[in-house]
């Protein structure tokens, strides 16, 4: 396979999505748990235990969910590859015509489309049909284990910061420290994800900040209400 020096965002979108999602989820869900429990006037040991349990459970959940999701995608790709290989074996001429029709629809004249289809069929028939007929390219192939590990690791990295705050601070200062650190890190993650994905940095940071602040406010309110009733 010939590789070129250009780097495209689409080539890293799979692991980028899993990593950004995992880090944001780890940071926000764990911080919200800690803020909610702290607002219920629980002890520091209870708050710290909640944070660590949230980190472990969340990382495992993210890994399992991502693995199942991407495995389903991989199974679909495998089934499509098997079916396409069988069709190529049964009627290669019809598959060549099908490929040529695709190229005509993309703007090639009939003679050139036929020539391109014949040459690609001779070079890599299955690869050509997977790419041009089904839209499945090798750079976009589903990788369940990679996605699961990226999700678990990034969740844990995000979750460790609010847990660290819970370990270092006590009382009302704890809530303030967790909220402040979480908002800063959410802004950084939002901007970083936008930058790597080629989007606007401010837009990426603001939308993550909004939902993060809302989530912590809601959980703090719930913790306060239930904490005062117990």
Write down the H helix ranges in the chain: 13-39, 44-90, 92-105, 110-132, 144-168, 171-196, 201-229
Q: How far is CA 216 from the centre of its chain?
A: 22
User: Residue 72, Cβ neighbours under 10 Å: how many?
Assistant: 12
* Per-residue pLDDT at 163: 93
Query: What confidence score (pLDDT) does residue 1 get?
Result: 42
Contact between 158 and 25 under an 8 Å Cβ cutoff? The reply is yes
3-state secondary structure of 201: helix
39 has a pLDDT exceeding 90: no
**Stronger pLDDT, 200 or 31, i.e. the higher one:** 31
What average pLDDT does this structure show over 158-179?
88
Instruction: Identify the CA nearest to 37 among candidates 62, 21, 54, 25.
Output: 54
pLDDT digits (tens, 9 = 90+) for 47-59: 899 999 999 999 9
The pLDDT tens digits for 122-156 are 887 777 777 777 766 665 666 788 878 888 898 99
Over the chain, what is the mean pLDDT?
A: 80
**What pLDDT is attached to residue 17?**
62
């Amino acid at each position: 396979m010939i590789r070129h020096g250009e780097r495209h965002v689409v080539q890293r979108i799979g692991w980028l999505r899993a990593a950004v999602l995992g880090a944001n989820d780890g940071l926000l869900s764990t911080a919200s748990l800690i803020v909610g429990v702290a607002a219920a006037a629980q002890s520091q040991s209870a708050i710290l235990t909640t944070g660590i349990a949230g980190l472990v459970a969340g990382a495992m959940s993210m890994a399992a969910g991502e693995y199942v999701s991407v495995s389903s995608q991989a199974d679909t790709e495998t089934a499509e590859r098997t079916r396409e290989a069988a069709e190529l074996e049964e009627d290669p001429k019809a598959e060549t015509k099908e490929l040529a029709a695709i190229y005509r629809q993309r703007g090639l004249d009939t003679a050139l489309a036929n020539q391109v289809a014949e040459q690609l069929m001779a070079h890599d028939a299955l690869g050509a049909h997977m790419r041009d007929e089904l839209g499945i390219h090798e750079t976009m192939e589903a990788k369940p284990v990679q996605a699961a590990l990226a999700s678990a690791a990034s969740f844990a990295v995000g979750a460790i910061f609010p847990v660290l705050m819970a370990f270092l601070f006590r009382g009302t200062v704890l809530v303030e420290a967790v909220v402040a650190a979480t908002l800063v890190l959410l802004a950084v993650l939002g901007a970083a994800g936008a930058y790597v994905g080629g989007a606007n940095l401010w837009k990426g940071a603001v939308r993550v900040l909004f939902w993060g602040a809302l989530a912590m406010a809601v959980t703090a309110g719930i913790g306060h209400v239930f904490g005062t009733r117990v």
